[in-house]
Amino acid sequence: MALLLVLLGLGGCAALPPGQAGEAAPCGWAVEEWRSIDGGYLDERFVRLRQPVALDADIEGLWFYDAGHDSIFLLEAVSDRLRRVATLSASREVRLRLDGVGQLYLADPRAGSLLRLDTVTGEAQSFTRESPLAPTAVALDRLGRVLVGDGQAGRVVAYNSHGGFEAPVADDLPPLGGVAGLLARDEQLWIADPVERRVHLVEAGRARVVFTHAAWVSPGPLADDGRGGVVMADTATRTLYRLTAEGPVEVLTPVPLDVQRIDDLVGDGREIYLADGARGQIRVLDLVLRGCPAAPGEDATGDDIP
């Protein structure tokens, strides 16, 4: 029987806003905002973002779907220029994920569709004949399987690279109220359930840990923070939390972020990108350690000293 732990985030190492009077910030992670992306140059013309709602990132740059432009764009890492990858119409709830070999998977719960798009040609086609009823999240694991969260059926299932149905990701995973976020990393799969207000960790095909927190209202998108942890956005409260397999839950933003909406979240190993479709912005965040003595070989942020 799988070991199932419940971690109640009633305390823990929560970072406070810098300079809060009368309180010393304990050692812990906190969020700093570096900049905001409002648009970019496309064919020598500056194009403003309208409604960026879905994100992913790789070595080429930041990929996103803008529902206002009905387009998938790539913001190139080297030049900070935009490239229109494809034009298509999808809902605001669409999610996308890259596979590392030029394919982009799009899950749209409104249309009940799971598409695979060629990032070179911009052509999209149905990935599987057995699409989930409401694909609300998508991820790819280290075996090359496409993992899809079905928000209506309350489960996460795996497909092979040819679109063939394989199996649920874990036989001992309890029924889910919904699936608002998926993150696959090494042998780990993180699942955010906004209905039951939980985050599940599946490891090596077995349900291992269930995370809860007294303040959670609607756990949503998940991002790899590049520092061994996972950042989860509560879309109802506009707050961020950090989770690790060992626990406990850390509060990254004691007060709500200055955003109108958190549509999606992704990490590129260095920074965290947050899509605020209501404002037409992508916010760029960084994680820093506050109140912690620097370990040998690290600076005060916890990053290695070159």
Hey, is 255 helix, strand or coil?
Answer: coil
In whole angstroms, give the CA distance from residue 147 to residue 305: 36
pLDDT, mean over the chain = 88
In whole angstroms, give the CA distance from residue 37 to residue 49: 8
Instruction: Decide which of 11 and 59 is more confident.
Output: 59
Contacts of 25 (CB under 8 A, 6+ apart): 15, 16, 18, 290, 291
Q: Of how many residues is the chain composed?
A: 306
Token duo for residue 186: 């090494």
Where is 106: in which H helix or E strand?
strand 103-108
End-to-end CA distance of the chain: 45
What pLDDT was estimated at residue 279?
A: 97
pTM of the model: 0.88
Single-letter amino acid code for the residue at 267: G
Give one DSSP letter per residue of 37-48, joined into a string: E-EEEETTEEEE
Distances (CA, A) of 140 to 17, 165, 175, 190, 299: 35, 14, 21, 12, 33
Task: Write out pLDDT tens, residues 264-283.
Answer: 999 999 999 999 999 999 99
Hey, is 201 helix, strand or coil?
Answer: strand
Task: Write out pLDDT tens, residues 224-249.
Answer: 999 999 999 999 999 999 999 998 99
Token duo for residue 121: 């040609």
Residue 28 has pLDDT above 70, yes or no: yes
Distances (CA, A) of 219 to 239, 246, 279: 10, 19, 21
Q: Are strands 239-243 and 230-234 parallel, antiparallel or unpaired?
A: antiparallel
Partners of 138 in beta bridges: 148
Contacts of 291 (CB under 8 A, 6+ apart): 15, 24, 25, 26, 27, 28
The residue assigned the tokens 């989860």 is 232
Task: Write out pLDDT tens, residues 50-90.
Answer: 999 999 999 999 999 999 999 999 999 988 899 999 999 99
- Burial profile 245-258: b = 16 or more Cβ within 10 angstroms, e = fewer: eebbbbbbbeeebe
Partners of 209 in beta bridges: 5, 201
CB 189 within 8 A of CB 181: no
Spatial CA neighbour of 268 closest among 80, 32, 63, 79: 63
In whole angstroms, give the CA distance from residue 191 to residue 214: 18
Instruction: Provide the pLDDT confidence category of residue 109 given band limits of 50, 70 and 90.
Output: very high
Token duo for residue 75: 């913001």
